[in-house]
Amino acid sequence: MRSPLLVLSSFLVFALASTRPSIAGDLDATEAVLDTDGEKLRAGTEYYILPVFRGRGGGLTMASTRDETCPLDVVQDPLEVSEGLPLTFTPVNPKKGVIRVSTDLNIKFSASSICAQSTVWKIQKSVNSEIQWFVTTGGVEGNPGIETITNWFKIEKAGDDYKLAFCPTVCDCGALCRDVGIYIHGNGVRTLSLSDALQPFLVNFKKVGSSSSSL
């Protein structure tokens, strides 16, 4: 009997394989991602992921959005003044200290959780007909390959800003590609999601402890 993970991985390999988000960073994959102070993002350093546009919520955090308490999903804080929870980035090559555009990486909340699962981001198939996938926690850090394909994200350029994307290249398996957007539920919860109907969520990165103003 095939495990649920293998079934999901197989679906990701073949579903929507020819659809890719518009990625401005493809031709400049060596460009370093910069924070709000103009400094290079560093692996293992804590940052806040903040929205470019104000008035639509604050930074990113974890919350229970379904009928079950765990795992916690990745959502935008409803309070504009909130910076959310700090996160760290780990590139596919952990020896690389600088986070670069279009590089596969894990994203992890640097915070404790009421759930037994990890706080590493991954995508999960949605039962909501309006979105195909949503971003949740419980992923695996490292170990790149088809078994962990749901756990890898990228930071891409979007004009002068950045966006998050799911388009893993950790294996030669033609996985689906989508920009990460915000889906607003009927109760106002703003979940990070993947869908053709969503605009990319434009973001910047503020180093924890920085005095730069971004909200």
Task: Supply the pTM of this predicted model.
Answer: 0.85
Per-position DSSP letters for the chain, written without gaps between them = ---HHHHHHHHHHHTTTT-----GGGGGTTPBPB-TTSPBPBTT--EEEEESSSSS--SEEEE--SSSS-SPEEEE-S-TT--B--EEEEESSTT--B-BTT--EEEEESS--SSSS-SBEEEEE-S-TT-SEEEEE----S--SGGGGGG-BEEEEETTEEEEEE---SSSS----EEEEEEE-TTS-EEEEE-TTSPP-EEEEEETT------
Q: Where does the pLDDT of residue 176 fall: very low under 50, low under 70, confident under 90, or very high at 90 and above?
A: confident
pLDDT of residue 170 exceeding 90: yes
pLDDT of residue 214: 60
Averaged pLDDT for residues 36-58: 95
> Residue 51 pLDDT > 60, yes or no?
yes
Check if CATH label 1.20.20.10 holds for domain 45-207: no
Q: What are the extents of the domains in the chain?
A: 45-207
pLDDT of residue 213: 66
Q: What is the pLDDT of residue 132?
A: 86
The fraction of the chain above a pLDDT of 70, given in percent, is 85
Percent of the chain exceeding pLDDT 90 equals 67
**What are 3-14's pLDDT values in tens digits?**
544 444 444 544
Residue 76 confidence (pLDDT): 97
